[in-house]
A and B are shown apart, each in its own frame.
Chain A
Amino acid sequence: GENVEQHPSTLSVQEGDSAVIKCTYSDSASNYFPWYKQELGKGPQLIIDIRSNVGEKKDQRIAVTLNKTAKHFSLHITETQPEDSAVYFCAASNSGGYQKVTFGTGTKLQVIP
């Protein structure tokens, strides 16, 4: 089955700085890579996703890059704000959609005001 590794496990940045979270996956058939944000006491919420036919996708301060050859993908958050503080999960799916998603172990991001 798919195995997704994520690092770092914790990340502290100053407000306004950038944050980068990296993930690797094992199944070369994986073709869909969502990122989720989970705030304390809440369920994960989809923030951005990328499919294997695209190398980069951007949505305001958030961007995701994908390197299929190396089987790794990354989340980039620019101009971080205190409300970005949360746990972020990467995930991978080989079904082309949301059906069966394998999650990484999470990164706890702390943005220091």
Chain B
Amino acid sequence: EAGVVQSPRYKIIEKKQPVAFWCNPISGHNTLYWYLQNLGQGPELLIRYENEEAVDDSQLPKDRFSAERLKGVDSTLKIQPAELGDSAVYLCASSFGSQGEQYFGPGTRLTVT
């Protein structure tokens, strides 16, 4: 069974540029999470989807971050414009139902210069 797929794996951009990350969850998993992981820290939840509905986006900085999961499967996380402090690893996870075990993807390492 394929795991959570994320792309790109690495991204380097200049500050003020836009960037987008893509996530394909495990087949059949209706719950999808985006996490931010700073160097030397644990993951922090940005947003959680149940199917196509964002049920918890309280930690998403909405002035520059946006996310979508239009058909309840793949999801995209966008930052516009990016700032130096956005350099981090962005992790996607999915689960079967909100009580199910979360399976994490390998993450996208973003470097903003």
Contact = CB atoms under 8 A, between A and B. Distances in A.
User: A and B bound?
Assistant: yes
Interface of A: 4, 9, 41-46, 89, 91, 96-101, 103-106
B110 to A, nearest CB: 15
Contacts of A4: 42
Interface residues of B, number: 22
Nearest to B45: A100
B67 interface: no
Interface in B67-113: 91, 93, 95, 98-107
11 contacts: A9-B40, A43-B107, A44-B43, A96-B99, A98-B98, A101-B45, A103-B41, A103-B43, A105-B41, A105-B42, A106-B42
Contacts of A105: 40-42
Given A43-B93, A43-B104, A44-B104, A97 B98 contact: yes
A105 B91 CA distance: 16
B4 interface: yes
Q: Is the interface of B mostly helix, strand, loop or mixed?
A: loop
A91 B106 contact: no
Nearest to B104: A43
Interface in B19-64: 40-45, 48, 56
B106 A41 contact: yes
A43 B91 CA distance: 7
A83 to B, nearest CB: 18
B104 A103 contact: no
B35 to A, nearest CB: 9
Contacts of A99: 48, 56, 98-99
A41 B16 CA distance: 27
Contacts of A46: 101-102
